[in-house]
Structure 1
Amino acid sequence: MAHEPSSIPLGALDAARDAAIEAGRIALGYFRHGGKTSAGVSYKEGGSPVTEADLAVDRFLKKRLTDIAPAFGWLSEETADNAARLRRRHVWVVDPIDGTRSFARGDKDWTVALGLVEDGAPVAGFVYAPVQDVMYEALPGGPALRNGMEIRATGHATVERARIAGPGPILDAMQAARTPFQRMPRIHSLAYRLVHVAEGSVDGALASGRAHDWDLAAAHAIVAASGAVVQTTSGQPPAYNRPSTVHEPIVAASGALAADLARMLAAGPVARAAGHKDAIAGL
């Protein structure tokens, strides 16, 4: 079957970039460097926090992006899911504040993550770090950019001496297995962690088996445009806009390094630390 041509409205992605920057400014209104946010904080089922700022940014982006492209679906961490998105070819996939815990305590490693998915694959992404005023982006067929300048992943091919960022338990397990890598400081926003691969400041980034579409889609587009890959432990790119938004453990790195890291995350103590379903089941 021939692939249907893309039908992204003219100017929609430029407007989406502007919306991500404006969303960051809204969030900064509640942010306190090194201190507790001025926003009210509540907790979802399962204990993850959500602030007034998350909800304000979510409302702004939903209205702005729906106005930009009324035919597109919508999926956001802070909006009740609507199965109508499954019938849409294009879906905005949004995390209004990725790294809410960091945001709430006054740390700087949080972002606004805005991705566009087409037929289940990410085709454009914007990851904006408001505290640093840094925009990472990728448009269909274009390079990965950081504040308008092209960026590329390192292409580091082996775990040996690779600079790896990821959740503490995974890196602890890798170190316990005497894996010869360089452990990088924790980056709490997963989208921000992944785009560090795109800019070459880390060689590989890892995510446990609890990431959702909104944590990944925007950064996935940027990493892919930088020459690296985002893949699951089975070696496949994650698919988006499915009934379930939850993913198995994820690796972002150059192709060869990604394959090695994926194998590590799929078996043994590292897999258990990553929350791999087969490891949890004892398989």
Structure 2
Amino acid sequence: MPGPEDDLALLVRAAQVAGPIALSFWRAQPKAWDKPGDAGPVTEADLAVNDALQTLLTGERPDYGWLSEESEADAARLDARRCFIIDPIDGTRAFIAGQEGFAHSLAVAEGDRIIAAVVHLPAMDLTFTAHADGPALLNGAPIRPSDAGISGARVLTYKSATDPEYWKDGRTPPFRREFRPSLAWRLCLVAQGRFDAALSVRHVWEWDIAAGNLIAERAGAVATDRHGQPMRFNSPRAMVDGMVVAGPRLHGELRAGMA
């Protein structure tokens, strides 16, 4: 069985393949449509990247399971010792709008834990990486989260997460809400210390956060579901019940204030 560092090297190679494919469609008016069930938009670029990644990754690791936002669900992944968890383009709305903030999110799970992860933003030439036995890196340099407390913290989340119903005694903490389109990128921005926390009070898809979860943890952040429990991956529903990702002090303060 390959080591985590071997799987990471494969994911980096795959991201380097995915980037030029996505950029060939970016700002070129790619065909786009809405997925059924109000599941959001998809483009021909998402599918092209997905096909290339699946061919490369499963060709190299045919015994690994496959979970991707843009592939049909395959229950066989649940029986595999390791599983790829992939979002071909995270931040599709930003991609369609011609914005730079879209990412390829690539991870390998062993059991229910992530052991190798890459988040690659090709339009910005940013590559975040981590494996289970090594540091979190941005373009090869180590990264660390901030040590901010809750007052004035810059928290990446959506507007409804600040609604009083989600906070004890209806008191939203005194943080500053900000937003970036890609969930995977949000977790990496916290790992990098450019923002102080990433928060979701709603369920999140595994493919959006699997890679960023490991990168944040290996950087030194605490990454849990909204109840403070470790995130678990390659589950039957492929969803995690919210997320709280921040440096240790701020993570504890956010969790203490949540209803």
Q: TM over 0.5: same fold? A: yes
List per-residue Cα deviations over 1:99-133 (Å, max 9, x = no partner): 11110111111100001111100111100011101
Structure 1: distance between partners of 2:159 and 2:23: 28
Check whether the contact 1:12–1:69 (CA below 8 A) recurs between aligned residues. Answer: no
Check whether the contact 1:137–1:222 (CA below 8 A) recurs between aligned residues. Answer: yes
Instruction: Work out which of the residue numbers 90, 113, 134 in structure 2 matches 1:121.
Output: 113
Check whether the contact 1:43–1:50 (CA below 8 A) recurs between aligned residues. Answer: yes
**Residue 226 of structure 1 aligns to which amino acid in structure 2?**
A
Instruction: Work out which of the residue numbers 39, 58, 61 in structure 1 matches 2:30.
Output: 39
Structure 1: distance between partners of 2:4 and 2:124: 30
Give the direction of change, closer, same or farther, for the CA distance of 1:9–1:99 in structure 2 (3 Å limit). Answer: closer
Provide the TM-score with structure 1 as the length reference: 0.85
Counting only pairs closer than 5 Å after superposition, residues 55-134 of structure 1 correspond to structure 2 as 55-134=47-126
Structure 2: distance between partners of 1:217 and 1:229: 14
Check whether the contact 2:201–2:226 (CA below 8 A) recurs between aligned residues. Answer: no
Q: 1:150 Cα deviation (Å)? A: 0.5
Task: Mark the runs of 5 or more structure 1 residues left unpaired by the alignment.
Answer: 1-5, 268-283
Q: 1:21 Cα deviation (Å)? A: 2.0
Instruction: Work out which of the residue numbers 10, 19, 24 in structure 2 matches 1:15.
Output: 10
Alignment partner of 2:86: what SS? strand
Percent of pairs identical after alignment? 37
Q: 1:180 Cα deviation (Å)? A: 1.9
Alignment partner of 1:20: what SS? helix
Structure 2: distance between partners of 1:9 and 1:143: 12
Alignment partner of 2:180: what SS? coil
Give the direction of change, closer, same or farther, for the CA distance of 1:199–1:129 in structure 2 (3 Å limit). Answer: same
Q: Which residue of 2 aligns with 1:228?
A: 221
Q: Which residue of 2 aligns with 1:163?
A: 154
Q: Which residue of 2 aligns with 1:262?
A: 255
Structure 2: distance between partners of 1:107 and 1:171: 26
Count of residue pairs brought into register by the alignment: 255
Q: Does 1:30 align with 2:25?
A: yes
Alignment partner of 2:36: what SS? coil
RMSD: 1.9
Q: 1:172 Cα deviation (Å)? A: 5.8
List per-residue Cα deviations over 1:109-164 (Å, max 9, x = no partner): 110000111110011110001110100000221110000001011132x3112111
Alignment partner of 1:29: what SS? helix
Task: Mark the runs of 5 or more structure 2 residues left unpaired by the alignment.
Answer: none
Q: 1:183 Cα deviation (Å)? A: 2.8
List per-residue Cα deviations over 1:176-231 (Å, max 9, x = no partner): 945222333x1010000110011000111112413111011100110010000111
